[in-house]
A and B are shown apart, each in its own frame.
Chain A
């Protein structure tokens, strides 16, 4: 098929930027040296890693010594949550998180519960927001970690990270935030926000897959999990993914440099799409906060239809998107995030997430708005639930 794909799933992953790829390529072939080796091509690899570390540090206003490369955002989340928990269990065993975290944090917390830790999962309001007051109330003498995501991957809601960070700092509790969706979309200053640990994943901002980073503020007590060589100052063994690290460095530099223009464009596309869907399609619900949301995130529930069918029909029209329905999550239940904001199961099954990126245009939205209302109507005409509504019973 040579049909053009209209890609609207940038929260799932993004294409590697050509400038990023150009910087990476030499490290697969010409500059293949092991960064731990003493000869020149080894030293060149080492230097490339340290340059990338500086770029990442600069992007979040941290020190290069506070940036540690990992194999993914998921690894960064696991390391932050479990590493802090095990390293500080002599101080306490209580962790505070939310009901809408990415599975990387949520399942790490559930694992810790099976190993004697106590976890409070804070509920969110109908827009997906956690209140700082709730966080304060949940703190106990044995609380050792607060882990709350910066921005939600499904509904895009942006949490009051600065206020939560201040509470954590005042109480002397470590604060981790999964910023995988936020980096490149929201300016982040770890010092101003009082964040102690922050997870990053390159492929969400036009970098390669298979590389992430964890910011660990100097002085934070955290256990290591990958034991072996002395890479990453002895805290995360294994020969470095040099090309991936170089790609992460370049991608985060571009993302933070262009953040204002990028956001302006995405917000325009987002708000236009939200407005038009609400105007043109009846029986819809916008999921997530209207304004406190990721610049490129649109999430709607369409009543009486199921998300996977919607995705398949959009795909046939060349539009790539995602959903929180059970059929797409591979489990019996629809997305835990959609249930957490109070959606009934049947409404959660009919969700559609569109996440825009740098290559999307108004023409893409024109195309989407040409196809989407027709598809929704077609599926509704097939739905026994819609039949009942039309009859008024």
Chain B
């Protein structure tokens, strides 16, 4: 059911771990739903120079975490913010419909970590207030056929 790329990122996840003194940290999801993603960022001159993650979740959750760190390293903060759940899923050669929810988590974890970075550095602008609000299980889009 998973693509080879998903299985590759699941079995050999890139950038697992923590960053000591990170510039931004974001945590999304909750244990009740069965997945939590925590993203650590190192940002220099507005460029993401390192990203690490820790994830509690299924194969797709771990693979999307791994892929999203690969996608954002070397990007500017704004470029990283433009990454969507779809681009993460596409980079993994697709996810099963029931697992698209996991790619939302990756997108939100990136946004949440960047929001933390901006807040720490006084870069939050009006309207940035809620880049990634904490959501409950039921609010997260789990299945394609729900819409």
Contact = CB atoms under 8 A, between A and B. Distances in A.
Interface string B13-30: 100101000000001000
B54 A306 contact: no
Interface stretch (B31-39, B75-83, B117-125): B31-39
A309 B142 contact: no
Contacts of B56: 304-306, 382-385
A193 B23 CA distance: 67
A212 B13 CA distance: 44
Given A306-B35, A309-B62, A327-B34, A383 B55 contact: yes
Interface string A321-352: 00001110010101000000000111001000
* Chain A binding surface SS class: helix
B11 interface: yes
A309 B10 contact: yes
Contacts of B49: none
Contacts of B32: 344-346
Contacts of A385: 31, 36, 56
A309 B102 CA distance: 13
Given A325-B34, A349-B31, A384 B54 contact: yes
> Chain A CB within 10 Å — which of B27, B32, B55, B56 has the most?
B56
A240 interface: no
Given A306-B56, A309-B58, A332-B142, A382 B16 contact: yes
B34 A387 contact: no
Contacts of A332: 33, 137-138, 142
Contact of B38 (A304, A307, A384): A384
A345 B36 CA distance: 13
* Chain B binding surface SS class: mixed
A316 interface: yes
A332 B31 CA distance: 12
A113 interface: no
Contacts of B34: 306, 325-327, 334, 345-346, 349
Interface residues of A, number: 25
Interface in B32-82: 32-38, 54-62
A325 B61 CA distance: 14
A77 interface: no
Nearest to B2: A312
A381 interface: yes
Given A306-B57, A309-B10, A387-B54, A382 B31 contact: no
A359 B16 CA distance: 38
Contacts of A154: none
Contacts of B31: 345-346, 349, 385
User: Chain B contact residues (Cβ within 8 angstroms of A): what range?
Assistant: 20 to 34
A308 interface: yes
A322 B32 CA distance: 20
Nearest to B11: A316
Contacts of B10: 309, 312
Contacts of B36: 383-385
B55 A382 contact: yes
Contacts of A384: 27, 36-38, 54-56
A330 B101 CA distance: 12
A330 B98 contact: yes
Contacts of A382: 13, 16, 54-56, 62
Interface in A294-314: 304-309, 312-313
Contact of A312 (B37, B54, B59, B138): B59
Contact of B57 (A309, A313, A334, A387): A309
Nearest to A383: B56
A326 B142 CA distance: 11
B67 to A, nearest CB: 15
> Chain A CB within 10 Å — which of B10, B32, B98 has the most?
B32
A330 B145 CA distance: 12
B137 A306 contact: no
A309 B35 CA distance: 11
Contacts of B54: 382-384, 387
Contacts of A325: 34, 58
A308 B57 CA distance: 8
A307 B62 CA distance: 13
Nearest to B56: A383
Contacts of B142: 332
Contacts of B98: 330
Q: Which 6 A-B pairs have the closest CB atoms?
A: A346-B31, A327-B58, A308-B58, A384-B38, A384-B54, A349-B34
13 contacts: A306-B34, A307-B58, A308-B59, A309-B57, A309-B58, A312-B7, A312-B11, A326-B34, A327-B34, A334-B34, A345-B34, A382-B56, A385-B31
Given A346-B31, A384-B37, A384-B55, 19 more contacts: A304-B56, A305-B56, A309-B10, A309-B58, A309-B62, A312-B10, A312-B59, A326-B34, A327-B34, A327-B99, A332-B33, A334-B34, A345-B31, A345-B32, A345-B33, A346-B34, A349-B31, A349-B34, A382-B54
